[in-house]
Structure formats: structure tokens, C-alpha cells
Amino acid sequence: MKSGCLTYTDRLVRVLLQQDVSLFVGWWWWERVALGVWMLMTLVLTRSYTGNLMSQLAVRYIPQPLQTLQDVVIYPVTILINKGTSDEQAFRTATSGVMQDVWNLREQDRVRLIGMEELNQVPSILGRGQAAYLALSNGARLTMSNEYARTGTCEFYLGRGRYLPSLEALAVAKGSPLLPNINRKVLQVVEAGLYEYWFRMVNPNFTICLNAPKKVAVMSTLNLRNLACLW
């Protein structure tokens, strides 16, 4: 009885290792059914594991955890804000909410005010990781566009959250009779999409990194370092 039990177990192990297996003539019907179910279950499990392993090694996921101001507060990142702008004023004067929480991070040395002379250093600071740049949407897109033109890759991403509306206007003298006509023409330009079109004409790479893929295919050899990334 023990010898037969060991032989049956040996057959099950051979199926798991994807080796050939032979059936004894004297096997009971339930043994044949159990072996068939075991073969089907092992086929599903091994194929599933193999597929997941290959996808993990071939496709690399690019995390984008910073999407809102609350994410910026939670994650230990350095926050870059343009100095002397309406953005700084909005955070400085905030008395409640997440904007006040962001400004209070100065006590932890996590807020850095960037002057005009330091704007060219923003890509290098962001490239080191652990940093977020809070700026006008067009300014952030321009930074991404210039970096793409320099490196040919989308190194940064734009968060989904928006924290402060910014109005752009054409200034005229108070009480000017030209104001109604100017308002009408500016509205027509904006509604027709000409402003966005002109901005893209000046910066051809303006929108190229806005929908950058979160998953990229990579070709790498199978080694212990790659396997360690799976856990």
C-alpha cells in the first residue's frame, strides 16, 4: 500500500514539473479522475505564473503618485514654488485647507522658493527625484517641452489636480470705449482655440508629454536583480 501511494505521489510531482507520466492498468477510476483534475489545475497555474513573470520582466510600470496637493503633502517631497508670484501669495495667505498645509511644510524645510534666476535649475532638481513643481499649467508644460527637446524622453509628468485658477487679461485704460470690443475679440480668440494653437506653434513639443505611457516595454536579461523587483 505504501509503495503504491508513493508511486501515485511521484506521478503528481512529475505532472507539476511538466514531465511525462504513465498510467497503471490497475488504477482505480477515482485515481484517474484525480490525476486528470490535477493536470488541468497545474496547467492553469503554471501558464498563469509564466505569463505574469514574463509580463513583469518585459513591462515596466512608471509610478505617478503625485496627482493632487494632498499627495504632495503626504509624500516626503520638496515643493518648488516660484518666488514673488501669485502662487506664492496664495499659499502664504492661506488660512485653512490643503494650501495652508503646503505652506506649513516650510517648518520641515520642504518648501523651496525659486527665483527667476533659478528657473533653469528646475529640471535638474526634479530630475533628482523627490520633488514637485507647483506652477502655472502653461509654465509646467513649457518646462516639460524644453526637457523633451533636450533629452528626447518624457522625464516628468503633469498631475491631474488643479489648485488655483489663473486669469490672463489684456489691460486697457479704465473707462476706455475700446473695452467692449476688446472683450469680444479676446473671447472669440479663446473660444476658437487660437491661443492654444499659437502656443503650440511656438512650442512644438508642448503637449507631447501630457499623455506619456505609464507602462513601457523593456528588453533585459533574466538575473537576480530583475527577479528582486517582483517582490
Q: What are the pLDDT digits (tens) for 96-105?
A: 888 899 999 9
**Residues 69-168, CATH architecture:** 3-Layer(aba) Sandwich (3.40)
Which tens digits make up the pLDDT trace of 165-197? 766 677 888 888 988 898 898 888 888 888 778
The pLDDT, as a whole number, for residue 45 is 79
DSSP-assigned states of every residue in the chain: -HHHHHHHHHHHHHHHTT------TT--HHHHHHHHHHHHHHHHHHHHHHHHHHHHHHEEE------SHHHHHHTT-EEEEETTSHHHHHHHH--SHHHHHHHHGGGGT-EEEEPGGGGGGHHHHHHTSSEEEE--HHHHHHHHHHHHHHHSS------S-------------TT-TTHHHHHHHHHHHHHTTHHHHHHHHH-TTTTTTTT--SEEE------HHHHHTT-
Which parts of the chain sit beneath pLDDT 50? 1-6, 230-231
Give the per-residue pLDDT at 117. 82
Domain ranges of the chain: 2-61, 69-168
pLDDT of residue 58: 60
- Residues 6 or more apart whose CB falls under 8 angstroms from that of 213 comprise 62
pLDDT score for 197 = 83
pTM confidence score:
0.59
